Structure 1
Amino acid sequence: MNYELFVLCLAMILAAVFRWAFKALPRENWQIIAAMPKQKLETGEWRGENLTFYGAFTASAYIFAVAMIFILLGAISVPITAIAAIVSLVLIICIPASTIIAKVVEKKAHTFTVGGASFAGIVIAPWIAAIADLTMSIPVMPVLAAISIGYAFGEGFGRLACISFGCCYGKPLSDCPVFMQKLFEKRHFVFRGKTKKIAYSHGLDGQKIIPVQAITIILYSISGLSGVYLFLKGFYKAAYIETLAITQIWRLISEFLRADYRGHGKISAYQIMSILAVLYAIAVVFAFPNPSAYQADILNGLGYLWNPMMIILLQGLWLAVFLHTGRSKVTGSVMMFHVIQERI
C-alpha cells in the first residue's frame, strides 16, 4: 500500500470520528454508559455502580496506540511475539502509574493521570527497547519511534474520554483575553450535566469553555500522522523526537489554558514532567544510533492485526483497561426494577 494513501485514510477516519465526538460528547447522556446494581437498600431500591464512557474511550485509546505500534513494527518485520513482549512491559508500568502519580501529585485516591502514565512510559521505554536490542537484536530507534507514535495517537484519542467525563477542561471564555474570546467564540465547548467533573469541581457547566481537549486531540493526531509517514520513510529519530516534542511542549502550554486543578504553584508537576521528557528524548536520540532504513510493508503490518494472538491480546487489554478506568468512583446511582404488567 502507498504510504501516503495509508496516512490519508487514517486521517479521514479520525476526522470523521472527531467531528462527531466534539458535538456529542459534551452532552449529559455521553458520560454514563451503564449502571450495575451492587447493593439492595431498605427502600427496595438498588445502589448501582456506574460504568463510564470515560473508561470505554480510554480503553479504545490504549487499543489504538497498541495497534499502531504493531502495524508500524510489523511493517518492518519485527516478530509479533517480540512486539507483544515490549508492549506488555511498557503497559505493565504505565497503567498503574496513571493512578499512583495522580495520588502523589493531586493528592486524590480516585483519579487517573494520562500525563503521569505517559511520563513513566517515556522514561522506561528506551531501557525496554535496549533490552530488546540485546536479547532479540531489534534496533532501538524504530521501537522507540513506534512507541512514541502510538503514544501520540493514544493520548490524542484518549482525550475523547476527558470530553465525555468533563475533565481536563479549559478556562471559561469569560475569563480569557478579548482576542481569545473572539478566537473561540464559535469553537468552544459547553458541557451539560451535574455529574460531569467540570460541574461538581468548578460549577462551569453550561458556560462557554476553551476546547483544550479538542485542540489536544487534533494536534496530537496530526503529530501521530506525521510520525507515521516519517517512520515508513525510515526517519526513525525524526519520528521519535517530532511526536514527543510536539506532545510534551503542547502539554506544557495547554496547562496554562486549563481551569481544573493541576496542583499548587504556577508551574504544575505535569508541566515539569513535560520539560524533563523533552530533554530526556533529546538525550536518547544522541545515545542510540539510527539504523539503516527498512523497506516498510504497511500491508504486512496490517496483517499482524488479524493474528489470533493479536486479537485476543487487544480484547483482553481493552477489558482490563475498561475495568480499571471505567468503574466510576466519584459518581453513584440508585435504581428500581419492576414488572410491566400490561406486557405479561
Structure 2
Amino acid sequence: MTTTILTLFTLLIVLYLWWGFRCLPAEQWQIFAAVPAARQEQGSWQGINFTWYGLLTANAYLVAVTVLLVLLGAVGVPPLGIALLAVALLACCVPASRLVARLVEKKAHTFTVGGAVFVGILVTPLAIELVNRTAGNRFFFQIPVMAAYAAIAIAYAFGEGLGRLACISFGCCYGKPLAATSGWLRRLFTGRCFIFSGSTKKIAYADDMEATEVIPIQAVTAVLYSACGLLATGLYLASYYSAAFLTATIVTQGWRSCSEFFRADYRGGGKISAYQIMGLIGVLYAIAAACLLGSEPLLPPDMAEGLESLWSPAVLLFLQSIWLVIFLYTGRSTVTGAILTFHVHRDRV
C-alpha cells in the first residue's frame, strides 16, 4: 500500500512540475483573475489582480499541510493536535515571509520563503511544547518532537518544491542569464533555460530580462526538493525519524544557501546574503536538534491510519480554509494593477 501511494504521488508531482515548467514562464500565466473594485470617471473600473502566484502558493501550502496530517497521523497524533500545530506555525511563518523580506530586501510588497522557513525552524519546538501543554494535556495526546520535526521538514520540502511554480509564474527568484555563465554551467543549461515573457513579470521590471535565456533555478529547486521529500518520506515510514529530518533539512537549507550563487534577483547587499546565512544556521540548528532529540522512542508509523485521519468533514474544511486564506493573502497583487471595461454584445440582445 505504501509503495503504491508513493508511486502515485510521485507521478502526480512529475506531471504537475512538467506542466509548470512548460507553461508558466508565458505572459498569460501571471494574472489569474481581475476583479473590479472602484469605478473611474471615464466609465472604466480600477481592478484588483489575483495572481497565479497566489493560487500555486496556496496549492503548495495545501500539499504541505496534507502531508503533515498524514505523517503525524501515522504516528498516532490526532487531527486536532496536527491542526493546532499547523496553525501555530503558519501564524508565525506566513507573516514572517513578508516581514523578513522587508528587513532584508527593504521591500514592503514582496515575500520570502527562506525567511519564513528560518523562523519556522526556530519556533517549531516552542509550538510543539505549547500545543502539548495546552490542548495535549486537555485532550490526552502528546506530539512526539522528533517525529513532528521530521514531518514538518518533509512537508516543507514538498511545499517549497511545488511552490517554486509560483515563482515561475510571477517571474521572481530567477536565475542568472545564460550569456553571463561559462564552462560546464553554460553547457549544462544550453537549450534548457527559462525565457520569461510579459512586462509585468518581476524579471522584466526589476532587471529588464524579459525574453532572455536564464538558468531555470526554480525548476532545479522544485525537482531537488520534491525528490528529497520523497526520499525523506521513505525514511520516515521506515521509522528513521532523525534521518528523515536531517535529510530534508540539510538538503533544502543547504541548497538554499548554494542556489543563490546562481540567482540574479536582488537578495540584499553583500556577496553572501542574509538568506544564505539563515540556511546555514538552519542546518546547524537541525543537527543539534537531532542530537538532542534523536533518542525519543516511537512506535512504527501506520500509513493507513495517517490516510484515515484525512477523511473527516472537519479536516477537509480545515484544508479548504488553509488554501483560501493563503490564496487571499499571497494572491492579491499589490505590485500590478488593472483597468477594466465592460460592454454589451448588441448582436446578442
CA offsets, 1:55-80, max 9 Å, x none?
00111111110000001111122111
Deviation at 1:219, TM superposition (A): 0.4
Is 1:89 equivalent to 2:95 in the alignment? no
**Aligned equivalent of 2:250:** 245
Tell me if the contact between 1:126 and 1:284 (Cα under 8 Å) persists in the aligned partners.
no
Tell me if the contact between 2:32 and 2:50 (Cα under 8 Å) persists in the aligned partners.
yes
Q: Which moved further from structure 2: 293-302 or 92-101?
A: 293-302
Select 1:233's aligned residue among 238, 248, 252.
238
Is 1:197 equivalent to 2:202 in the alignment? yes
**Aligned equivalent of 2:47:** 48
**Aligned equivalent of 1:316:** 321
Tell me if the contact between 1:38 and 1:48 (Cα under 8 Å) persists in the aligned partners.
yes
Q: 2:309 is matched by which residue type in structure 1? A: Y
Structure 1 60/100 Cα, relative in aligned 2: closer, same or farther at 3 Å? same
Deviation at 1:4, TM superposition (A): 2.6
Task: State the alpha-carbon separation in 2 of the partners of residues 138 and 257 from structure 1.
Answer: 39
Task: State the alpha-carbon separation in 2 of the partners of residues 215 and 120 from structure 1.
Answer: 24
**Aligned equivalent of 2:159:** 154
State, as a whole percentage, how many aligned pairs show the same letter: 48
Task: State the alpha-carbon separation in 1 of the partners of residues 202 and 183 from structure 2.
Answer: 26
**Aligned equivalent of 2:279:** 274
Q: 2:3 is matched by which residue type in structure 1? A: E
Matches within 5 A, 1:1-344: 1=1, 3-133=2-132, 135=137, 136-344=141-349
Deviation at 1:199, TM superposition (A): 0.3
Task: State the alpha-carbon separation in 1 of the partners of residues 343 and 299 from structure 2.
Answer: 63
Task: State the alpha-carbon separation in 1 of the partners of residues 142 and 318 from structure 2.
Answer: 24
Using the size of structure 1 for normalisation, the TM-score is: 0.97
Deviation at 1:289, TM superposition (A): 3.8
Q: 1:231 is matched by which residue type in structure 2? A: Y
Deviation at 1:152, TM superposition (A): 0.6
CA offsets, 1:165-196, max 9 Å, x none?
00000001000113212110121101011100
Deviation at 1:44, TM superposition (A): 1.1
CA offsets, 1:198-231, max 9 Å, x none?
0000111101110000000000001100111111
Task: State the alpha-carbon separation in 2 of the partners of residues 61 and 185 from structure 1.
Answer: 29
Deviation at 1:128, TM superposition (A): 2.0
Task: State the alpha-carbon separation in 2 of the partners of residues 194 and 180 from structure 1.
Answer: 28
Q: 2:55 is matched by which residue type in structure 1? A: A
Q: Which moved further from structure 2: 163-172 or 185-194?
A: 185-194
Any unmatched runs of 5+ in structure 1? none
Aligned partner of residue 50 in structure 2, secondary structure: strand
Tell me if the contact between 1:73 and 1:83 (Cα under 8 Å) persists in the aligned partners.
yes
Task: State the alpha-carbon separation in 1 of the partners of residues 317 and 192 from structure 2.
Answer: 40
Tell me if the contact between 1:235 and 1:293 (Cα under 8 Å) persists in the aligned partners.
no
Aligned partner of residue 35 in structure 2, secondary structure: strand
CA offsets, 1:105-148, max 9 Å, x none?
11011111101111111111122224445543332100111011
Q: 1:52 is matched by which residue type in structure 2? A: T
Task: State the alpha-carbon separation in 2 of the partners of residues 162 and 341 from structure 1.
Answer: 41
Q: Which moved further from structure 2: 131-140 or 155-164?
A: 131-140
Tell me if the contact between 2:77 and 2:142 (Cα under 8 Å) persists in the aligned partners.
no
> How many equivalent pairs are there?
343
Q: Which moved further from structure 2: 195-204 or 77-86?
A: 77-86
Q: Which moved further from structure 2: 96-105 or 288-297?
A: 288-297
Q: 2:329 is matched by which residue type in structure 1? A: H
Using the size of structure 2 for normalisation, the TM-score is: 0.96
Deviation at 1:16, TM superposition (A): 0.9
Tell me if the contact between 2:78 and 2:309 (Cα under 8 Å) persists in the aligned partners.
no
Any unmatched runs of 5+ in structure 2? none
Deviation at 1:247, TM superposition (A): 0.3
Deviation at 1:293, TM superposition (A): 4.6
- When the two chains are superposed, the root-mean-square deviation of aligned CA atoms in Å is 1.2
Deviation at 1:84, TM superposition (A): 1.0
Task: State the alpha-carbon separation in 2 of the partners of residues 290 and 314 from structure 1.
Answer: 32
